[in-house]
Amino acid sequence: MDRAKILILVEGARIDARLMKHLFCVYGIDAKYEIVSYNTNIYVLYNEMFYAGKPGDMDTLQVLKAHEQDETRKQIFVQGYTDILLIFDLDPQDPQFSEEKITAMMNYFVESTDMGKLYLNYPMIEAFYHMRDIPDSDYYERIVTFDELRNHTYKQRVNAENRNRDYSKFSVTREECNIVIEQNIEKGWCILCVNPRNLVPDGVAVLARQLKMLNEHEKLFVLCTCVYFIAEYNQNLLA
């Protein structure tokens, strides 16, 4: 049987791509993969796919190809993939943010082998590194305020509170990665206030709870969900 061939669309060119490469390397995932930086946020993707209200009429790869300006990179989107992963930040401080938009995206991108699977990070990819230690017992209660996002101070806070104050030295081993991933899975279930029912929490349900938190308290639970892919790809990897 042919190996999986995975397209990983990430929001940023640096931290996002580096984290996904690190995870694939640490877990020795036997799959061909291509990491592509979209270089803009999810609301731009929403405008390109949902502008006519019928995303089902458009192929995800076709949309990505149309968005790409570099002719060489366009060739990435004419290949066939067994899975498509979309790794994006919630970015509630963005002028284009709306609950309707992000909920529509989360409800649409639910299957990696079809249109693609969306993994939202709260508030952004840096949530992976927002731990004072591994494990970090305080992580389950860690939140970010909307003011931090509006004032662009959250990344500075993560840098200050990260165990190593150096992302390249954080969660280097497989054992440490296991702990970070498991804490994010456990926190997802805590956010939903239910006992685990499946391998990982449902992304739509987590988003709804986060939006409720944002509306009522102008806060979000810090949570990295892109790591859920490891558990979904092969739960034995976390053994």
162: Cα within 13 Å, side-chain hemisphere: 18
**Rounded distance between C-alpha atoms, residue 205 and residue 208, angstroms:** 5
pLDDT class of 39 with cuts at 50, 70, 90: confident
Question: Residue 40 pLDDT more than 90?
Answer: no
CA distances to 22, 137, 191 from 141, in Å: 26, 9, 10
Phi, psi of 68 (to 5 degrees): -75, 130
Q: One-letter amino acid identity for 202?
A: D
Q: For 201-239, write each residue's pLDDT tens digit.
A: 999 999 999 999 999 999 999 999 999 999 999 999 998
Q: Which sequence spans correspond to the domains of the chain?
A: 5-238
Q: What is the pLDDT of residue 1?
A: 47
Q: For 50-107, write each residue's pLDDT tens digit.
A: 875 667 667 889 888 888 888 888 999 999 999 999 999 999 999 999 999 999 999 9
CB 207 within 8 A of CB 103: yes
pTM of the model: 0.94
